Amino acid sequence: MDEFERIKALFAPLAGEAGLGLKDDAAVLAPPAGRELVLTVDQMLEGVHFLPGDDPALIARKLLRRNLSDLAAMGAMPLAYLLTTALPSLLPEEWLIGFAAGLEADQRQYGITLLGGDSSSSRKDIALTATFIGHVASGQALRRNGAKAGDGIWVTGTVGDAALGLEARRGRLADDTGFLTRRSLLPDPRVGFSLSGIANAAIDVSDGLVQDLGHICRASGLAALVQASLVPISPEAAAHGPNTLELRLTGGDDYELLLAVPPEKSDALRAACAGVNVTRIGVFQPGDGVQVLGDDGAALNLSAHGWKHF
Amino acid sequence: MDEFERIKALFAPLAGEAGLGLKDDAAVLAPPAGRELVLTVDQMLEGVHFLPGDDPALIARKLLRRNLSDLAAMGAMPLAYLLTTALPSLLPEEWLIGFAAGLEADQRQYGITLLGGDSSSSRKDIALTATFIGHVASGQALRRNGAKAGDGIWVTGTVGDAALGLEARRGRLADDTGFLTRRSLLPDPRVGFSLSGIANAAIDVSDGLVQDLGHICRASGLAALVQASLVPISPEAAAHGPNTLELRLTGGDDYELLLAVPPEKSDALRAACAGVNVTRIGVFQPGDGVQVLGDDGAALNLSAHGWKHF
């Protein structure tokens, strides 16, 4: 078997019915009745989104989960995905086996299948791209542009763990329990919540809370006012003290959902997110831009504005 | 504007309605009534699928056209695509402008729009991935596994020009008119033919005639018998003499359609491919493997078996 046949043999068991056993030029997919399709694509590059020695199974799972998080931000349920791999020819076979095992684990966890893909040799770096297909009730996709003045700003889970975890992986921060590192390597996308009719707008926190909130503000023509003290923080992050605040507010890779929710829908939101904490951290107002207020009521001056990869 | 904002500004005019102005986490797509979706993905890597100095507009168009050819091989009509770009940070802005112009030209030519995408910095090489979405009447997708013993083997256009064009680009072959080089840089995917009810199986010639014919044979459980003298050749390729036969039969990048067609459907096939020559080059038989017979009736011994990129 040459390398392409090896890849095919490893990936064929991952293919669902629509993938035609990965034996055709393309996959065929009939979307569920009454549903629109939601499509998104994300790539992970060696040296940019992951480090050369990282566990290939975790790289695979993060690749899928970043895309799953984009679907969650649209209020969509995941269905299937396509994959391209560009791999240097000297990559050990164990890497590929670990990568396929990671795909398999998360396919089972999220009920998705591989539809098709393309494998190629690369000259040097590993480059991976996944295109995800989800579905949503027709006309019910969550957008960034639907926030209204007076809507609460809500966020799921805790914010800033992944940015601190990246610092821990770089040896700049202690992480005795491994929690922060794990949050950086293996995000927990908030798929499966029924948010239509509850949230007016949504985005996932991939570039950093302040930057992603800015995306909703620009799309909706509004300002956002956030209380720093309300932003949910894990005990492991809190243990590193208040000096990490700026990194937590502007660091990326959290993959939590950031939502615009009218005040009268707060209880419905909590019910829809059963099992996951969801916290009101501020309010949308007329105007533009994102302001984060510190404990003294003064606006913080945040120098970093979003994650620019490694 | 930073580089991501520049890319966004260049690509936003390419987005169709379903792409939501490239301002959301994902695109929303409602497929046409009574149609199934057909999805395929292909990547192009610097140093593998194109050379560093190649015209960025031609790279963009070839990226789209390789995917369009996969849709054509499934009998599907193109609808839209998603794009990821991994670009080194020192890439001149002219490259990006040329790349976007190439996308725009072929979007107009093929009636497709950009749905969404992802841009990232790369450490060194350019890596590009396009995911294409097409549609086909439900249950009518052309597969590789439908060929029947007795079906004619048909091919559109001419075979081998792109492999000779690559040799010309490497300075190993004369190409006074530029025809062969152009066939290598800018394929002409055979989209838009209505082949359902006519062809029993189809594939596009991307890895080389012999290799791709082998894919149909394996999927359909058949052998293929080809007469080398029947394989259609352009005048420009013919001018290089019979010594190029093996390269023409095994070289990739032609993006012609290779079809299994019952004898009684030959006229219908010619009518469906109006404007493009379509040639019967052999027959599918019980057995396995691909045999190509030379003028003396003996099987050729083809040492190369398909294109392995640069």
Give A95-106 pLDDT, tens digit per residue.
999 999 999 999
CA distance B242 to chain A (A): 30
Residue A145: its chain B contacts at CB < 8 A? 23
β-pairing, A289-293 vs A223-227, is: parallel
Query: Could you tell me which of A70, A68, A287, A73 has the C-alpha nearest to residue A199?
Result: A73
- For chain A, percent of residues with pLDDT exceeding 70: 95
Cross-chain CB nearest to A26 (options B31, B70, B309) = B70
* Contact B204/A at CB under 8 A: yes
Count the neighbouring beta carbons within 10 Å of the beta carbon of residue A251.
28
Say how far apart CA B137 and CA B75 lie, in whole Å.
9
Q: What's residue A4's pLDDT?
A: 67
Rounded-to-integer distance, Cα A231 and Cα A212, Å: 14
Which residues, 6+ apart, have CB-to-CB distance to A126 below 8 Å? A45, A46, A85, A86, A87, A88, A91
The count of other CB atoms within 10 Å of the CB of residue B171 is 7
Average pLDDT estimate for A265-289: 96
Which residue matches tokens 């302040």?
A210
Q: Give the integer Cα–Cα distance in Å for A127 and B238.
A: 39
Distance CA B194, CA B171 (A): 39
Chain A positions touching B118 (Cβ under 8 A) are 41-43, 129
Q: What is the pLDDT of residues B206-254, one digit of tens each?
A: 999 999 999 999 999 999 999 999 999 999 999 999 999 999 999 989 9
Residue B305 has pLDDT above 60, yes or no: no
B-chain residues within 8 Å CB-CB of A27?
Answer: 38-40
Confidence of residue B307 (pLDDT cuts 50, 70, 90): very low
Mean pLDDT of the residues in chain B: 91
CA separation for the pair B4, B136 (Å, rounded): 35
Q: Collect all residues of chain B within an 8 Å Cβ-Cβ radius of residue A112.
A: none
Question: Are B131 and A27 a contacting pair at CB < 8 A?
Answer: no
Q: How far apart are CA A247 and CA A213, in angstroms?
A: 15
| CATH architecture entry for A152-293 | Alpha-Beta Complex (3.90)
Q: Can you say how many angstroms the Cα of residue A206 is from the centroid of all Cα atoms in its chain? A: 6
C-alpha to C-alpha distance for A134 and B234, rounded to whole angstroms = 45
B17 lies within 8 A of chain A by CB = no
Task: Provide the token pair at B16.
Answer: 């169709």
Its sign, for the CA torsion A205, A210, A214, A217, is positive
| B7-46 residues labelled b (16+ CB within 10 A) or e (exposed) | bbebbeebbbebbbebbbbbbbbebeeebbbbbbbbbbbb
Q: Break chain B into its structural domains and give their ranges.
A: 3-137, 152-293
- How far from B216 is each of A114, B73, B258, CA to CA, in Å? 22, 12, 9
CB A230 within 8 A of CB A282: yes
Instruction: Write the CA distances from B167 to A122, A283, B28, B303, integer angstroms.
Output: 21, 63, 43, 18
Q: What sections of chain A are H helices per DSSP? A: 3-11, 56-73, 93-110, 161-169, 179-185, 209-220, 235-238, 245-250, 266-272
| B65 and A CB contact within 8 Å | no
Of A23, A36, A43, which is closest to B118 when you measure between CB atoms?
Answer: A43
Chain B CB within 8 Å of residue A285 CB: no
Lowest mean pLDDT among A31-35, A251-255, B123-127, B305-309: B305-309
Give the model's confidence band at A307: pLDDT under 50 very low, under 70 low, under 90 confident, else very high.
very low
Mean of the pLDDT values across residues A152-180?
Answer: 96
CA distance B165 to B180: 4
The gap from C-alpha A191 to its chain's centroid, in whole angstroms, comes to 10
Q: How sure is the predictor about A303, in pLDDT bands with cuts at 50, 70 and 90?
A: low
Check if the beta carbon of residue B262 is closer than 8 Å to that of residue B272: no
Distance CA B107, CA B137 (A): 23
Verify whether the Cβ–Cβ distance A48 to B123 is below 8 Å.
yes
Share above pLDDT 90 across residues of chain B, in percent, rounded to a whole number? 77
What confidence score (pLDDT) does residue B250 get? Answer: 94
The verdict on B7 touching A (C-beta cutoff 8 Å) is no
**Residues paired with A153 in a beta bridge:** A260, A282
CATH architecture of A3-137: 2-Layer Sandwich (3.30)
Contact B41 A131 (CB under 8 A): yes
Residue A10: the pLDDT is: 81
Query: What are the CA-CA distances from residue A38 to residues A134, A161, B20, B31, B85 (Å)?
Result: 5, 28, 11, 11, 20
CB-based contact, A124 to chain B, within 8 Å: yes
**The predicted structure's pLDDT at residue A310:** 37
Model pTM?
0.90
Q: Which amino acid is at A162?
A: A
Range 31-50 of A in CB contact (< 8 A) with B: 31, 36-43, 45-49
Q: Which of B70, B122, B309 sits opposite A45 (nearest CB)?
A: B122
The rounded distance, in Å, linking the Cα atoms of A105 and A63 is: 13
Give the residue ranges of DSSP H helices in chain B. 3-11, 56-73, 93-110, 161-169, 179-185, 209-220, 235-238, 245-250, 266-272
| List of chain A residues whose C-beta atoms are within 8 Å of the C-beta of residue B121 | 48, 309
* pLDDT (mean) for B184-189: 95
In the predicted structure, residue A217 carries a pLDDT above the cut 60? yes
